Amino acid sequence: MKDKNYIVHIAGIVAMIFWGMSFVWSTQVYESLNPTATIFLRLVVATIFLTAILFVFRLNEKIQKQHLGLFAIAALFEPFLYFIFEGYGLKNSSPVIGAGIIALIPLVTPIAARIFLKERLTPMNIVGFIISFVGVIVMLLNKNLELTASPKGIMFLCGSVIVAVGYSIALIRLTKLYKPLTITWMQNILGMIYFIPMVFIIEHFEPSNFANVSAYIVPLVCLGIFCSAGAYALWAFAFSKLGASRANVYSNLIPVFTAIFSYLLAIEDMTAFKVIGIAIVVAGLILSQLKPHSK
């Protein structure tokens, strides 16, 4: 059992590594494409990749008609609404600021999980959530102890937090019915369908947009395979084992990995506040995953 628990936590951490890097990859693609087109093409790549995996290895499951509505709601929340809010939020802020606001998800999710899923939390879990979030705030401070971000960017990013919580509630129900790969495959297909009107009618995406494809093809493929396919499948697996509240606290690792990758790629500096914040986030994460010993 202990070995299986380690696998669950590793899955959560790897998903956060991919999503932490997604803020960097997205910023690179946005230099050539708008957020809507980026997300649509990212979902196309993910759908092709997952379809190949499921059918080549014969892992596909039959989707029951009565569950299509739940899939549709989950995909509406994520990737559709979430990526719209996150995409335009990131376009109006920095990668680390964006990842930091996304880290609000673990604080909001337990409330929703308590109301809709009747999940129970220990005092240690709650303390861990709070400590981890404090670490995120420390990471976002500058030397004058000020938070620097565009109000417009913050508004969009806060919207992504709200829809992510809704997705968490739908996801925990789906994980009781289908395997993680099946859930991820369906949500990418439905999300891609949702984005079609926006991309081709509202944003007027045309074939000419592919003229500079060499400039963004690598980060775009990485977004599709690692973030929209791999990370979501690992995340669904972690959700099925840990529950919405305990799994979502891993979201606090996203700004940690984003800060590290941004520093390594010379996009943002690694300040003392970020180093201290990372240490606090990790400490809170460990506390949040502790379970009370049985008597």
Per-domain residue ranges of the chain: 2-288
**Strand, helix or coil for residue 121:** coil
**Whole-number pLDDT of residue 45:** 96
What is d(CA 9, CA 289) in angstroms, rounded to the nearest whole number? 9
Question: Tell me: the pLDDT tens digits for 137-185?
Answer: 776 666 665 655 567 787 888 888 889 888 888 888 899 999 999 999 9
What is d(CA 121, CA 119) in angstroms, rounded to the nearest whole number? 7
**Strand, helix or coil for residue 49:** helix
Question: Tell me: the pLDDT tens digits for 90-112?
Answer: 777 766 667 667 767 776 777 77
Query: Do 77 and 166 meet the contact criterion of CB atoms below 8 Å apart?
Result: yes
For the record, the structure tokens of 181 come out as 């790969």
**Whole-number pLDDT of residue 46:** 95
**Whole-number pLDDT of residue 32:** 84
What is d(CA 278, CA 88) in angstroms, rounded to the nearest whole number? 26
For the record, the structure tokens of 133 come out as 């979030």
pTM of this structure: 0.77
What is d(CA 41, CA 158) in angstroms, rounded to the nearest whole number? 24
Query: Do 107 and 129 meet the contact criterion of CB atoms below 8 Å apart?
Result: yes
34: left (phi over 0), alpha (psi -120 to 50) or beta: beta
pLDDT in tens, the chain (295 residues): 444 678 998 999 999 999 888 878 988 888 888 888 888 999 999 999 999 999 898 888 999 999 999 999 999 998 899 888 887 887 777 666 676 677 677 767 777 777 777 777 777 777 877 887 787 777 666 666 565 556 778 788 888 888 988 888 888 889 999 999 999 999 999 999 999 888 877 666 666 666 678 888 999 999 999 999 999 999 899 888 888 777 877 877 777 787 788 788 766 677 777 778 778 877 877 777 666 544 4
For the record, the structure tokens of 77 come out as 């929340």
Q: Which among 82, 92, 28 has a CA at the least distance from the CA of 194?
A: 82
Burial of 123 (0-12, 13-18, 19+ CB in 10 A): exposed
CA angle 189, 63, 185 (to 5 degrees): 30
For the record, the structure tokens of 111 come out as 């409330």
